[in-house]
Amino acid sequence: MAICYDEFGPLNLQPHPGHQWAPKATGPGDQANPRRRRRATYQRPNGVRHLLAGYDLSTNRLYGHVKARKRRTEFLAFARYLRTLHPAPAAQRIAIIMDNYSPHRSTKVDTRVGDWAAANNVELAYIPYYSSWLNRIEPQFTALRYLALDGTDHPRHRAQSGMIRRFIIWRNHHTTDPKLRKVIRRASLIKRAKVT
Tell me the average pLDDT across 31-42: 63
**Please, are residues 66 and 164 in contact by the beta-carbon 8 Å criterion?**
yes
pTM value is 0.83
The C-alpha atoms of residue 151 and residue 188 are separated, in whole angstroms, by 23
Mean pLDDT, rounded, of the chain: 85
More confident residue, 170 or 36: 170
In this predicted model, what pLDDT tens digit does every residue of 136-170 receive, in sequence order?
999 999 999 998 888 888 888 999 999 999 999 99
User: 10 vs 49, 64, 125, 157, CA distance in Å?
Assistant: 6, 14, 24, 12
Domains of the chain: 2-8+45-194 (3.30.420.10)
**Helix, coil or strand: residue 156:** coil
User: 37 vs 17, 22, 105, 179, 185, CA distance in Å?
Assistant: 11, 11, 44, 28, 33
Q: Does residue 5 surpass a pLDDT of 70?
A: yes
In this predicted model, what pLDDT tens digit does every residue of 16-27 receive, in sequence order?
777 655 556 566
